[in-house]
Structure 1
Amino acid sequence: MHKQIYVNLPVKDLARSKDFFEAVGYRFNPQFTNDKGAGLELGDNLYAMLLSEEFARTFTPKTLIDNKTSTGGWVCLSCESREEVDALVAKARAAGGSIPSEPQDYGFMYGHGFEDPDGHHWELVYMSGMPPQE
């Protein structure tokens, strides 16, 4: 099976996006970062490639959507605790991100999220168990 994941996300202002994610507490891999894109390290073998819109257009003939008005998908990341979920959302808010909804508590799973400056939705979840069987 797969050993790594790279989620490619177009961004309008690469420098602004890098500043945002660094303020949230993430790092960038300098080997995969230049003026066209930045390799955002999300965990062991988990990456988001933030690509300038101009560079992103070289990979697809399709129109890039405006993530502030449309949803093409979202990134969901697991966290070690509810506190980590809430701390990351608080850091994103303080860095200028928006919070599209209230936290969701399903008993076995707790989630909350934020939108980055380009409107990409990042959902953070902590799972304390498995869902109940019906």
Structure 2
Amino acid sequence: MTKMIFVNLPVRDLNAAEAFYTALGGNKNPRFSDDRSRCMMLSDAIGVMLMTHDRYGDFTTRTIGDAREKSYALLALSVDSRNGVGETLAKVTAAGGRADPTPPQDHGFMLSRSAEDPDGNIWEIMWMDPAVAAGDGPVG
């Protein structure tokens, strides 16, 4: 079986979070979604579990932090083309995200911009030249 990763995030507004992650390219998995959580699959191996604060509290006794005030993680998601970075950023911004909470980076062989979801989590949307990613091209 392919290894999978699930990013579990507490959210204040489940519907707003679902709209953002749909725009990011996610598809809701209804089998693991209910009135307190949404499973948004970004690929066959990458899932984002969006949970209301009360549901998230079922998994931890720790205080839920506010990602709009403190950084807990920087998450990155690749897209298939250089143009896809801007296209994806436009979609998530239209769905309630905030564009470029961190500075854009363009290194020629790699481009990244960021989007903040409605709860303050930052996603880098990035493209890397496939030749560089495969180790065949020069870096920089």
Same fold (TM over 0.5): yes
Local SS of the residue matching 1:70: coil
Partner of 1:11: 11
After superposition, residues 1-134 of structure 1 pair within 5 angstroms as 3-99=3-99, 100-128=101-129, 129-130=132-133, 132=139
Between the aligned partners of 1:14 and 1:113, the Cα distance in structure 2 is 21
> Where does the alignment leave 5 or more consecutive residues of structure 1 unmatched?
none
The 8 Å contact of residues 23 and 88 in structure 2, kept in 1 or not, is answered as: no
Q: CA deviation at 1:18?
A: 1.3
- Could you say if the C-alpha distance between residues 113 and 34 of structure 1 is closer, same or farther in structure 2, counting changes exceeding 3 Å? same
Q: TM-score w.r.t. structure 1 length? A: 0.89
Q: CA deviation at 1:25?
A: 4.3
Local SS of the residue matching 1:43: coil
Q: CA deviation at 1:9?
A: 0.6
> Where does the alignment leave 5 or more consecutive residues of structure 2 unmatched?
none
What amino acid is aligned across from residue 127 of structure 2 in structure 1? Answer: Y
Between the aligned partners of 1:132 and 1:20, the Cα distance in structure 2 is 32
Between the aligned partners of 1:101 and 1:114, the Cα distance in structure 2 is 8
Q: What is the RMSD computed on CA atoms of the aligned residues?
A: 1.9
Between the aligned partners of 1:72 and 1:20, the Cα distance in structure 2 is 19
Between the aligned partners of 1:77 and 1:125, the Cα distance in structure 2 is 6
Q: Any idea what the Cα deviations from partners look like across 1:48-90, whole Å, max 9, x if unmatched? A: 0001111111111211110111111022111111111111101
Between the aligned partners of 2:104 and 2:127, the Cα distance in structure 1 is 11
Q: Identity percentage over the alignment?
A: 39
What amino acid is aligned across from residue 69 of structure 1 in structure 2? Answer: E
